[in-house]
Chain A
Amino acid sequence: MKSLYVIVVGCGRLGAHLANLLSQSGHRVVVIDRDKESFSNLSSEAFSGFKVEGDASEPETLRQAKIGQADLLIAATREDNVNIMVALVAKKSFGVKNVMARVYDTRREGLYREMGLETVSPILLAGEEFFRLVYKALDAGGEK
C-alpha cells in the first residue's frame, strides 16, 4: 500500500487516535497542536510520526509541518471554525489535494461541502449508530 504524508491538526481524543491508527498502518504522520501536553495522548507504541507544537491557523506552523508535501490534512481540533479555516488554508493556499474537517455543527455541513471540504461529523455518525442499535435492541428484542 502506498504510504501517505498526513498532517493531523489537533491532538485531542480524535486527532491522537487517528494519528496512532494512521502511523500504525505505515503512513507518515505529523501532528500539530498548540498544547505540548496533548501529545501525551499519542501512543508510544503505535505512533512513530512527528509532533509540531504551534498554532495551525498560522501558515508558519503549517510550513514547519512540511505542508507542501502533504497528501492529506485532517483538521480535528474541537473548534469547528478553526478546523474549517485550517482546511481551507491547506487547500487554497498550499494546494493540499485532500482535506477533511471534523465538524460539530452539522447544520453547516452543506456549506463546507460547497467549498470543497470533506467533513466528518462524529455526532451524525454516532446518531446513525445509536439508531441502528436502538432498532436492533427494540425490534429484535435482544441485546447485542
Chain B
Amino acid sequence: MRKENLTRELSRRQLLKLGAGLVGVTAAGAVVPKALLKPDRVVEASPAAQDPIIGVYRHFAATDGWIYLPGANPPYHPDNLAPPGLTTYIFGFRDVTSIEGNRDLIFSQKMKCQLTSPMFWLDEWRNENPLDPHDNTTDFTLKLTNLGLQIRPDLIDAHTLHFHGFRNAIPIFDGEPHSSVGVPIARDLTYFYRARDPGTYMFHCHFEETEHVHMGMVGGVYIRPKQNFLGGASAPIARLGGSLDAAAPMGYVYNDGDGSTAYDREFALVMNEVWSLAHWCDSHVQLPEWSDYNPDLYLMNGRAYPDTIAPNGGGTDSATGDLIPPAGRPELKYQPLSSLITCNSGDRVLIRFINLGYVEQSMRLTGIKMRVVGRDATFLRGRGGNDLSFLTDSVHIGAGQSVDAIFVAPDVTEKTVLKLFSRNLAHLSNPGMPGLGGPMTEVHIYPAGTLGDQAAANDWGGA
C-alpha cells in the first residue's frame, strides 16, 4: 500500500498547478516539501543501483536465424535463401549469459537465434531475511540485447521481452512496447522481477507481436514454489530445496501444503506453429495477410516429429559463443530443446504445457491418465481449499495458456514407449510427407532405478 501521492512529488505540471511557479524558490522551499523541488526529469536510482547483478541473472540476445523443419511446401518451404541444411527463417532469442562480458562474441551471435527460446526457471521469492524487506537472493534480472536482423537490415525493429502471466506487473518490465519501452538495435534493457507466484509462465517479444511471435520469439519460464525449500504441513522439503532424502520428491509445482503437486521429473513442451508463407515473406521482404493465417507445420519445442525425440543440444561453445548441436543432428543446432519424456516406473512426471502458437491444441497422452494440477500458473484449488484438479488423457490448451499435468509412470519390466501428441489430427503431419509428424513426442518408461536424476528440466536422466 502506498499512501504517498507520487504525482504531487514529481510532476512539474502539478507543481505549476499548485502555483509554485508564482513564488520564489526560496519561499517555496519554506512551505513545500523538499521532494517537490527535485527536478522531475531524471529517473532516480539509488546510488548503488548501477545494474548490480543480484539474485538470478540472465542475458538474452534477440536476433534472426535459420532452423531445419522437415517436409516441403513449395515455394515457401524450404526457403530458397536458407543456408545449406536449414529450411526456415526465424526471429528468436539466445541465452548469452555464459559469454557475458565479451560483447564482440555476443554480437557474433547475430543470425544465430534458436527455436524455441532458452527455457529458464526461478525460485519463488522466499524473503529469507525478514529484516531486509528487499531480500534479493531470488530476485531476477534479465538483460535483453538487440543484435539486429542479419537478413533484414531494412527492418530496424526494436525487441522486448514480455513475461506472459507474471502477476501485478508494472509496464516498464512488462515488455509491451506501447505502454513502456522497446530495445533498439545494439541497445540493452534490463528487466527486473521478484518471483512471487509459482507456476508455469511463458515469454515472448511483444514488439510487432503478430509477426515477431509467429517468427519464433517464444519460450517457457516457470517459477518453482518456496515449498521446495520450506516444505509444507504434510510435504517434506524437496530435493531441489536441498533435501538429501532420496524419498523426497524432486520438487513441487505449487505451494500445495500436502504434496499433491510433487514430481520427480519435469518436462516443458512449448507449442507453436509455422506458417511457411509468413516466414518466407519475412526473408523475401514481403508481408503476409494475417487473416489468411494457415500454418503448415505444428511444432513442439521448435521441432516437428520425429525430430522432437532427438537429443537436447550441447549448450554454448565458450570459444565461439555458438550453440553446440545435439549429438548426430547438426541441422538441429538452433533447435536445442528435446521433447522426449523419459522416466522410471513409479516416477511422478510433470509436464508443463505452454502454447505460444495461435491455435488451440488438445494434447493426448495414450495409455496413462494425467492429473491437471494447474492452469495459467494457478494451482487448481478453490478458495475454500477444495480440490479442482482433474484426471484426463487430453489436455486442452489455448493460445497463450499453460497447463501443469502430472502422470505417474506405470510399472514396466522393460523400456516401454507411449505417444504424446496433438489430437487435432490435421496438425499431425509434416508438409508433403507421408506418415505422422508435427506435434508428437514419446514417453519412454524404464524399469525402476534405471535412470538417474535430471540435471535440469527436459534432461533425459542418462537415457
Chain B associates with chain A: no
B interface residue numbers (CB < 8 A to A): none
